[in-house]
Amino acid sequence: LKASRLEPTPLNSQPSLFLFSVTMGKAAKTGKKLPNAPLAAKKAKAVKNPLFEKTPRNFRLGGDIQPKRDLTRFVRWPKYVRLQRMKKIMIMRLKMPPAINQFNMTIDKNQAATLLRLLKKYTPETNEAKKARLMATAEAKKAGTEEKSKKPQVIKYGLNHVTTLIEQKIAKLVVIAHDVEPIETVCWLPALCRKKDVPYCIIKGKGRLGMLVHKKMASCVALTTVRQEDKTELDKLAENFKAQFNDNTEVRRRWGGGIMGTKSQHVTQRREKAVQIEQAKKLGLSIA
């Protein structure tokens, strides 16, 4: 009875559509297998050597020790380091008058080497040498064989002493350090040298001048007399420095500083370019 009640389903019914879509999907999946590329190299399996077992590192939490990296930018530097770095940047940014900026125009490396070689010949005696000399003089005086010695030819140092020598026009050459702190202590010295017509020069490093006179640092040193064999070299140096510093009006006029950072420079350039484009539009021109 159940079989007699079954009726044939029409062709446009839903089940036939479902069957049709299933059969299409199966046909699409069972397509032809494409051949491999002719030049494709077959990957050969790497033969593992049991003697050298690969042990990769694991840098996750609780794993291997991390490799050393450059952490300079993340270091909390001491206060004196931060201060000197900030000071250098501030000096670059601020505009500097000629009286201060002249200390940035120093003698070059070759001139400095020649000058220091000459000054090294006239370094003053150390405390030990002075003590030994005085003891020898005292012994000679006691024995009654005292001889009169000549005044030693040495470089003079100390700001007050050098200033007196310049004012009296005794100094033949004055050497000033470029990094004296505070700079106000020596910023007037070049003007005094020019007024008294004493050759001067500015050298890099107060420590280098200090080594010549057995001190940590020296703001300035001066030569008053030299031996006959060094007279030609001193005259030549004095002549060169007089032309480079004393008679150079550019030193007294040039301002310094005003150097902005990279970002600020780019902003300024963009503004200038925008102004140029605006002016060109008004004139009817085109700027690329």
Question: d(Cα 77, Cα 62) in Å, to the nearest integer?
Answer: 29
Q: Token pair of 15, please? A: 């089940």
Indicate left, alpha or beta for 258 from its phi (over 0: left) and psi (-120 to 50: alpha). Answer: left
Q: 90-118: per-residue pLDDT in tens?
A: 989 999 899 999 999 899 999 999 999 99
Mean pLDDT comparison of 9-18, 20-29, 214-223, highest-scoring range: 214-223
Question: d(Cα 163, Cα 84) in Å, to the nearest integer?
Answer: 30
Contact (CB, 8 A) for 221 and 156: yes
**Looking at residue 45, what is its pLDDT?**
76
Residue 53 confidence class, pLDDT cut points 50, 70, 90: confident
**Looking at residue 31, what is its pLDDT?**
66
Q: Which residue has the higher pLDDT, 160 or 129?
A: 160
CB burial of residue 81 (10 Å; 0-12, 13-18, 19+): exposed
Q: Which of 35-49, 59-73, 202-216, 248-262 has the lowest mean pLDDT?
A: 35-49
**Looking at residue 162, what is its pLDDT?**
94
pLDDT reading at 16 higher than 90: no
Contact (CB, 8 A) for 100 and 183: yes
The pair phi, psi for residue 203, each rounded to 5°, is -120, 150
The CA-based angle 222-223-226, given to 5 degrees, is: 170
Length of the chain, in residues: 288
Q: 190-203: per-residue pLDDT in tens?
A: 999 999 999 999 99
| pTM of the complete model | 0.66
**Looking at residue 40, what is its pLDDT?**
60
